[in-house]
A = this chain, B = another copy of it.
């Protein structure tokens, strides 16, 4: 029964957010999640490609979670992930919207 640790909105830092997004895989994961802004995706649904190690994927989700970019809840056998859109937009207005515009 692993409970996920999420930083409070106030504890989200700019360097943390940018650092977490400074990786092509994590950018792709966030883009997939952002496409359904208030929806949820399991880790494997949000994976940028299928031939990547589960542990690697888990690692990247952890980094996104620790930076405050996503919220993870366990539902049955899956983890459901969603972007913390409102928190992020209050903390850093416009940031995610701009990043989301660009390709890759």
Contacts and interface: CB of A to CB of B under 8 A. Distances in A.
Contact of A27 (B14, B94, B99): B14
A98 B89 CA distance: 12
Contacts of A14: 27, 99, 102, 104
A58 to B, nearest CB: 20
Nearest to A96: B98
Nearest to A19: B22
A49 to B, nearest CB: 15
Interface string A1-34: 0000000000001111111111110010000000
Contacts of A104: 13-15
A56 to B, nearest CB: 16
